[in-house]
Amino acid sequence: MSTENNTFTVWASIKKDLNPLEQVVINLKQWNKDSIELNVTHCGVCGSNIHTLEEEWGPIEYPCVAGHEIIGIVSSIGSNFCNVKVGDRAGVGPQSSSCHQCEFCLNSQENMCQDSVMYTYQSNWPNGDRAFGGYADKWRGDYRFVFKVPDSMSSRVAASFFCAGIIAYAPLKHSNIIPNKSVIRVMGIGGLGHYGIQFAKGFGAKVIGISHSEVKRDIAFQIGCDEYLNSSDKDAMSKYQNQLTHILCTGTGSDFEFIRN
């Protein structure tokens, strides 16, 4: 592995309220035996990127390079064993490292790490180097959080599975869905809801899509809903009282109320 070129080209927010993103050259993290480098080909756009860049979730450190649904071609690998090889098409999602030593990490639950869950951007590596996302020509990070992208998926489609896809899939996977018996209401038919509906159908459940107007009715049926509910229609909503086995809530509005009986 040659680490002579430790810079990369990024599209970054370099100053508060300055739009659009600017193309600049900055330094990559320091290379070590656990490092891997990708030549980025695709990066999804997540709503959290906008919230971060607009400082809706708190102050950010500049320059900020967003993007956490990253796909690229593996160009370099450190000396430690790696599950991918140079030339593979691989990806990394919103989390890009952890302590690797706590109880959760040792039981393959790194997302629950009690010491140092590290996000793909707006974080710092243990040595203090900044972590940068995928709006760039390269990404360098911890090989243990990089995975091979299946040949059956295009990069364009696969990228959004790394955030929206897994967020919708994981709770359904762990919720004891019984084919032909479970009835799932998917609240919100945006990006997460699109995945949630299709995954729920894949698990064999009856799926009821719900949104606050009629706008999403046609698309709900197109992507697999068995029924559709307009949450503004109180009479229609009342028909499903005590009829559901699961609720997947992917979005809320200002009038959202969760009442547990």
For the beta carbon of residue 101, count every other beta carbon within 10 angstroms.
12
Q: What pLDDT is attached to residue 255?
A: 61
> Please, what are the averages of pLDDT over each run of 10 residues along the chain (261 residues)?
76 86 95 96 92 90 95 95 92 95 94 89 93 97 96 94 92 92 91 94 95 92 94 84 89 63 50
pTM comes to: 0.86
Give all domains of the chain, ordered by start, each with its CATH number. 7-162 (3.90.180.10), 166-249 (3.40.50.720)
What are the strands, taking DSSP E only, across the chain? Answer: 7-12, 22-27, 35-43, 70-77, 89-92, 95-97, 118-119, 138-142, 147-148, 183-187, 206-211, 227-230, 246-249
SS percent in the chain: helix, strand, coil, step 5:
20, 25, 50
| In the chain, alpha helices (H) | 47-53, 103-106, 155-158, 164-173, 191-202, 217-222, 234-238
Q: How far apart are the first and last CA of the chain?
A: 60
- CA–CA gap between residue 247 and residue 235 (Å, rounded): 19
